[in-house]
Structures are given as structure tokens and as C-alpha cells.
């Protein structure tokens, strides 16, 4: 396992798109989180100030940058940036196909399963990294906005896990797209089309009860804007099923001849 991880590390540490996208991801995320916090707060308050509450009370009680809301808030912001990681993953898979290094790896004795497991670990690490960023942002935001007496650190921290699942499911699908189309542009455009309008088209086919479990909807619902509309456990189970399905498709697609 460390062997496969080490292989991925040597392969990508000097890969320009890897360096650029990871930096971009990190910088943009923190920039949006803490550069635009005033705008975000205004927006949230605007959405919530509908009853008789005055905005100052809401800011006091429900400030999204305070614990325990901070976990949810930053996970929610973070989920929009996973597209950058998806581009990176698709780029990596396409590079290995188009440059012939995937075939070369197989010839040199790497099993196809090992190769895919390497990519699995890469996706796992990238998802962990994105979760880590969310965690750091939440801690910074939470600590700076909450007063010491009201800090309830662990409540809602399961949003970190949901954030991980959100990114991981999405990146698993990106790997499958890369394996099927073997070209960054094609794979990315198809991924986007599957998202919109693809995810809408399901509505015509599946019964209404299952709307929540459409491929992209379930990823999205893991981190909703307000509160979960279905049981979180159901969402988690379904998204893990999707992950399993994506990796199986990639595996069988990889079994094919390499000419």
C-alpha cells in the first residue's frame, strides 16, 4: 500500500497541473471563506430575516461562522471547489492514457487492480485534503467568531465526514469519466452535462420518492444549504453505493486491451 502511494507521489509531485490546481484550490477556498465573509453573512442574514427577528439577534444566535454552525458553513462552501479537484483527477487519468504510461506501468508488472487502487488512494487523499481544509477553516472561523463560553466544539462536526463523502463520491465519478473517455476535455464536458441537464432528466424516469437519490442530487444533498430533508444515514448509504458502482465500472473498463 505504501508502495502504491509512493508511486503516485513520485508521479505527480512535479506534475504542473497538480501543483497549480492544488494551490488554486487552497487559495481560492480560504479567499472565499475569509475574504467574502461579510457578503456571506449578509446573504445568510437576508435569507433568515423573515420573521420578527432583528438581524442582530440572528447574528448573535445563528451566526453561521460560529460553532456549531461553522462545520456546516465551511463544508458547504467547500463543496463548490471540488470541481477543481475533479479537473485534476480527470487530467491525471487522461495523461496516463494518452501519454501511454498506463500501458507502460502494466508492462512493467503493475497489476491493473494495483493501478486502480493507486488512483483510489489518490482520490482518498485529495478528499482528505479538502476535508482538512474545511476543518481548518471551520476552526479558524469558529474560534474567531464564537466567544469562549459558547464554544461547543464537537456538535455538528459530523459535517466533516459528509464533506469528505461529498468530495469522494464526486471524484470517484471523475475517475470513471477519465477512464471511459481518456481525454480531459471530453471527460470534463460529459461530467458537466451529466450534472446539468443530465441529473434533471432522471426526474422523468424515476418515481418521485427517489428524487433525492439521483447521482448528483445525493452528492449535493449530503451538504444542503439549510437542513437535511432525508435521513442522513440513507444519504450516506446511497452515496457509498454510488462510489462502489463507479469504481467497479472503472475496474472493468480498465480490463480492456491496451493497444
Partner 1 sequence: MKNILKTYALHKKFGLHSALKDLNITIPKSSVYAILGPNGSGKSTTLGILLKALRPSSGYFEWLDRKPKFNYLEKVGAMLEQPKFYMYLNAIDNLAIIAKIKRVSNNGIEESLKKVGLFNRRFDSLNTYSMGMIQRLGIAAAIFHSPDVLILDEPTNGLDPEGITDIRNLILNLSKDGLTIILASHLLSEVQMVSSHVCILKKGSCLYEGNISEFINSKENIFQLGSSNLDSLNVALVNFNKLNKIEKHKSGKYFIVHFNKDVFPDDISNYLAQKGVFLNHLVRQHSSLEDEFIEILKN
Question: Which residues bind to partner 1, rule: CB under 8 A?
Answer: 3, 6-7, 10-11, 14-16, 99-101, 103-111, 257-259
CA distance 158 to 59: 23
Residue 25 C-alpha cell reads as 484550490
Min dist CB 112 to partner 1, Å, is 9
Nearer to partner 1, 4 or 171 (CB): 4
Nearer to partner 1, 51 or 109 (CB): 109
Residue 52 C-alpha cell reads as 420578527
Nearer to partner 1, 6 or 196 (CB): 6
CA distance 173 to 166: 11
Min dist CB 100 to partner 1, Å, is 4
The set of residues, in sequence order, having a beta carbon less than 8 Å from that of 71 and lying 6+ positions away, is 134, 138, 142, 156, 157, 158, 159, 160
Nearer to partner 1, 115 or 164 (CB): 115
Nearer to partner 1, 249 or 254 (CB): 254
What's phi and psi for 66, nearest 5 deg? -90, 155
CA distance 231 to 51: 27
Min dist CB 20 to partner 1, Å, is 13
Min dist CB 122 to partner 1, Å, is 14
Q: Cis link prior to 23 (omega < 30° from 0)?
A: no
Min dist CB 142 to partner 1, Å, is 40
Amino acid at each position: 500500500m505504501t508502495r502504491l502511494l509512493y508511486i503516485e507521489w513520485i508521479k505527480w509531485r512535479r506534475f504542473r497541473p497538480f501543483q497549480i490546481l492544488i494551490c488554486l484550490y487552497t487559495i481560492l477556498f480560504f479567499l472565499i471563506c475569509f475574504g467574502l465573509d461579510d457578503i456571506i453573512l449578509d446573504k445568510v442574514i437576508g435569507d433568515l430575516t423573515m420573521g420578527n427577528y432583528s438581524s442582530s439577534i440572528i447574528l448573535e444566535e445563528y451566526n453561521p461562522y460560529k460553532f456549531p454552525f461553522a462545520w456546516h458553513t465551511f463544508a458547504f462552501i467547500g463543496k463548490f471547489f471540488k470541481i477543481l479537484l475533479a479537473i485534476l483527477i480527470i487530467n491525471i487519468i487522461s495523461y496516463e492514457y494518452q501519454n501511454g504510461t498506463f500501458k507502460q506501468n502494466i508492462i512493467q508488472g503493475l497489476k491493473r487492480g494495483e493501478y486502480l487502487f493507486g488512483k483510489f488512494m489518490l482520490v482518498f487523499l485529495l478528499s482528505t485534503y479538502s476535508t482538512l481544509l474545511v476543518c481548518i477553516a471551520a476552526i479558524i472561523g469558529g474560534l474567531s467568531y464564537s466567544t469562549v463560553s459558547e464554544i461547543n466544539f464537537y456538535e455538528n462536526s459530523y459535517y466533516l465526514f459528509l464533506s469528505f463523502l461529498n468530495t469522494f463520491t464526486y471524484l470517484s465519478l471523475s475517475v470513471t469519466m477519465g477512464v471511459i473517455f481518456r481525454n480531459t476535455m471530453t471527460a470534463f464536458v460529459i461530467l458537466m452535462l451529466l450534472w446539468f441537464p443530465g441529473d434533471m432528466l432522471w426526474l422523468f424516469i424515476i418515481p418521485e420518492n427517489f428524487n433525492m437519490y439521483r447521482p448528483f442530487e445525493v452528492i449535493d444533498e449530503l451538504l444542503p444549504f439549510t437542513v437535511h430533508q432525508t435521513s442522513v444515514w440513507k444519504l450516506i448509504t446511497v452515496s457509498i453505493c454510488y462510489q462502489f458502482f463507479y469504481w467497479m465500472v472503472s475496474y472493468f473498463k480498465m480490463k480492456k486491451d491496451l493497444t
